Structure 1
């Protein structure tokens, strides 16, 4: 293996590590002072950076099971921790402030339960061989990332949209009836991710890897 390939694998592993380290920081920010708009902006920025590392680690180092990556097995774990950790932090803040309700709780519960169940049932096998190729799992991850980022960003993004709606003549009217569109879009994305989670989770749990040497 060439030095450039080794360097690419090491850089990819570093990006995965950044995603792992960013997760608890984002969670602390959310629990600390979300939905304060300034804190929400910082948490959103960190979440987007963490999400982008998921794209670029594959770009530079190949798939998680690539021979170029020494710690590629952490890739899927980092994705799971980022999504579930941030959703749990949001759930805690909503519950603490009396805004925890079923339309949010159901998809979050499905996503988190699916990840825990798959991890407990298939964790060792997946850490050794990687996740089976499953387009629904990729779609689930994409919608979960999108939904979570919209929810985290909703305080400042809604404020910005409301300022555009307000103009100069209807400022008080608009600010007294803030737009729920960003939050609703985030919830909708989570519902789609939850549906994909159920289907892809069943496929993973029922998947049987062919024995080595089998035709």
Structure 2
């Protein structure tokens, strides 16, 4: 008997050609490549998220900063202006300046200087008044009454200055006066004067003797 009968060759050719195996150590073609693990940015737990200010809050902070700078600038300007006004040439009510102002007013009363008396009594309004007849009449009556009481008056001392404001003060003073029409010598009398600083001048707005009526 003859040997085994060989199988006949397949009548259908192979549809896909066989791929040769790659050499050892190489990846077969067609397989995806997976890289190694990428190291994390933080080795441990991630830090908490940062709370950034919202645009509205940021705008409010900018507005507050601008207002603060404006306030500081206004304060600086005010201080500069105040220092400029309170320089060495500022007029203030002191014992010396009060004595000079009161003495000038008393001299006007003694000499019958009605305009000076009216200018003081008007307390800063004299130059702005259009009709001064009533002011001049009152000044004439005041000086006439004063001359009937005293022949001469001199300020002896400033006893007390009560400051109402930087431009107003009330002054208690002592004066030596020679009574009119009498043979007696000088007498001392106290009086109260209300002073006002106006246009770098000290005006005697009113004069009130302690032992008589107001002039």
Task: Report the TM range for the smaller structure's normalisation.
Answer: under 0.3
Name the TM-score, length of structure 2 as normaliser: 0.21
Name the TM-score, length of structure 1 as normaliser: 0.21
Larger helix share, 1 or 2? 1
Asked which structure has the greater CA Rg, the reply is 2
Larger strand share, 1 or 2? 2
Q: Tell me which of the two structures has the higher relative contact order, counting C-alpha pairs closer than 8 angstroms and 6 or more residues apart.
A: 1
